[in-house]
């Protein structure tokens, strides 16, 4: 058995309401909220970035780890790194005093960069190449002023320790579905991303998630009703609800992981943020379906099973979710490095 031995997460306290963003640009906040099914989003402060959030989440993971030297690899998924050339993974290792004999790299595949690294990490542990792998996803997502993405692009980080001892969440199986579908991108030396509007829906998000999901369910001879929970990547509040309906998952199965309404889309941390919300209440033998999505484009799908060790690592997600300081649009732009 291999899978998640421990986990940590970081949610910034600062939030901005969709109404506040809409009001600044003299737009209809109620219409936007109805369209996106998002009410507010988490915002990293001016002195926070991907590195600080990744370290905060990872520090929670290893605080009770007796043998840090057993961490044989550190992988970080992000699409908003403060460096064009310099890994975040080695910075995490240095700050957390992890002995230097580890493989380190950062991954890039839009919002599924971390789940891709998770598949690699699990394979390394399963093959006995390493004992533990630290996997972290973190983003301080940005958007052009007045772009609809301003209402959803959020901040946050999730870290997972993968191993084969005292596994709390077994990774039963995983698969990927990928294609060259350019629905969302950010060119080199450009600050904000560009997206292809409605093209990001049917041929991108929905096609890739349904393809990865149907394949892994058929491969394992499982049906949607065989799972206790389901978590899908959340670019907004409507897409995961719609894709769950298409695939045959119920609203009850996805409700606990649907955190985008309050947190926004934290890119590479987003799907995993839904997962850690589910782990707050999941019980032994519960099964979880997880499907990420990354523009460019691809989807990773996972079958997960909760074990008896979950109670020893459970974190209070709701407490952090409700610890909020609301900010104005001008403060938001200052935090994001803008001058509006």
The pLDDT of residue 198 is above 70: no
Q: Is 319 a catalytic residue?
A: no
Measured from the Cβ of residue 328, the count of other Cβ atoms closer than 10 Å reads 14
pLDDT confidence band for 197 (50 / 70 / 90): low
Residue 240 pLDDT greater than 80, yes or no: yes
What pTM was computed for the model?
0.95
Determine if residue 289 is left, alpha or beta; phi over 0 gives left, psi from -120 to 50 gives alpha, anything else beta: beta
Confirm if 154 and 141 have CB atoms less than 8 A apart: yes
Tens digit of each residue's pLDDT (9 = 90 or more) over 149-196:
999 999 999 999 999 999 999 999 999 999 998 886 677 767 777 666
**What whole-number distance in Å separates Cα of residue 234 and Cα of residue 225?**
21
Mean model confidence pLDDT for the chain: 94
Domains assigned to the chain:
3-168+314-335 (3.40.47.10), 169-308 (3.40.47.10)
Active site (annotated) includes residue 233: yes
Evaluate if residue 49 carries a pLDDT over 70. Answer: yes
Pairing of strands 194-195, 184-185: antiparallel
128 phi, psi to nearest 5 deg: 70, 20
Its sign, for the CA torsion 93, 316, 80, 78, is positive
In the chain, DSSP assigns E strands to 3-10, 14-17, 40-42, 71-77, 103-107, 132-140, 155-163, 169-178, 184-185, 194-195, 229-232, 287-291, 298-306, 325-326
**337 contact partners, CB below 8 Å, separation of at least 6:** 46
The answer to whether residue 207 is catalytic is: no
pLDDT tens, position by position, 32-46: 999 999 999 999 999
**Percentage with pLDDT > 70 across the chain:** 96
Among the listed residues 40, 79, 150, 170, the single catalytic one is 79
Q: Is the pLDDT at 17 greater than 80, yes or no? A: yes
pLDDT digits 0-9 by tens, 103-155: 999 999 999 999 999 999 999 999 999 999 999 999 999 988 999 999 999 99
176 phi and psi, to 5 degrees? -135, 150
Q: Which of 20, 56, 111, 151 is catalytic?
A: 111
Higher pLDDT among residues 339 and 240, named by residue: 240
Distance (Å, whole) CA 30 – CA 119: 39
Question: Is a pLDDT exceeding 80 seen at residue 74?
Answer: yes
The Cα–Cα gap between 110 and 208 comes to: 14
Please determine, for residue 339, whether its predicted confidence score (pLDDT) is greater than 50. Answer: no
Query: Where residue 340 falls among pLDDT bands split at 50, 70, 90?
Result: very low
Q: Which of 20, 40, 170, 233 is catalytic?
A: 233
pLDDT exceeds cutoff 90 at 271: yes
Residue 311, pLDDT > 80, answer: yes
Q: Provide mean pLDDT across the span 210-231.
A: 98
């Amino acid at each position: 058995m291999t899978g998640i031995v421990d986990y940590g997460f970081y949610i910034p306290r600062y939030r901005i309401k969709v109404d506040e963003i809409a009001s600044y640009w003299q737009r209809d906040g109620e219409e936007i909220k109805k369209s996106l099914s998002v009410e507010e989003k988490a915002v990293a402060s001016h002195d926070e970035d991907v590195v600080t959030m990744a370290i905060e989440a990872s520090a929670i993971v290893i605080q009770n780890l007796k043998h840090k030297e057993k961490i044989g690899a550190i992988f970080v998924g992000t699409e908003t790194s403060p460096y064009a050339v310099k890994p975040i993974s080695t910075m995490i290792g240095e700050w957390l005093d992890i002995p230097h004999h580890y493989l380190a790299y950062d991954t890039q595949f839009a919002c599924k960069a971390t789940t891709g690294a998770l598949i690699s990490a699990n394979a390394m542990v399963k093959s006995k190449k390493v004992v533990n792998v630290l996997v972290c996803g973190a983003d301080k997502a940005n958007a052009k002023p007045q772009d609809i993405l301003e209402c959803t692009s959020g901040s946050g980080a999730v870290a997972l320790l993968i191993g084969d001892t005292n596994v709390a969440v077994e990774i039963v199986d995983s698969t990927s579905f990928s294609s060259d579908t350019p629905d969302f991108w950010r060119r080199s030396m450009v600050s904000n991303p560009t997206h292809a509007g409605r093209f990001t829906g049917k041929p991108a998000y929905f096609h890739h998630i349904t393809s990865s999901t149907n394949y892994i369910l058929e491969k394992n001879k499982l049906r949607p009703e065989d799972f206790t929970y389901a978590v899908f990547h959340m670019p907004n509040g409507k897409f995961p609800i719609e894709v769950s309906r298409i695939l045959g998952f119920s609203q009850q199965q996805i409700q606990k992981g649907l955190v985008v309404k309050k947190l926004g889309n934290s890119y590479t941390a987003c799907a995993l943020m839904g997962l850690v919300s589910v782990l707050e209440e999941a019980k032994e033998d519960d099964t979880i379906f997880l499907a990420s999505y990354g523009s460019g484009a691809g989807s990773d799908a996972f079958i997960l099973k909760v074990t008896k060790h979950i109670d020893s690592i459970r974190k209070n997600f709701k407490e952090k979710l409700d610890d909020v300081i609301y900010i104005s649009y001008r403060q938001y732009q200052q935090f994001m490095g803008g001058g509006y």
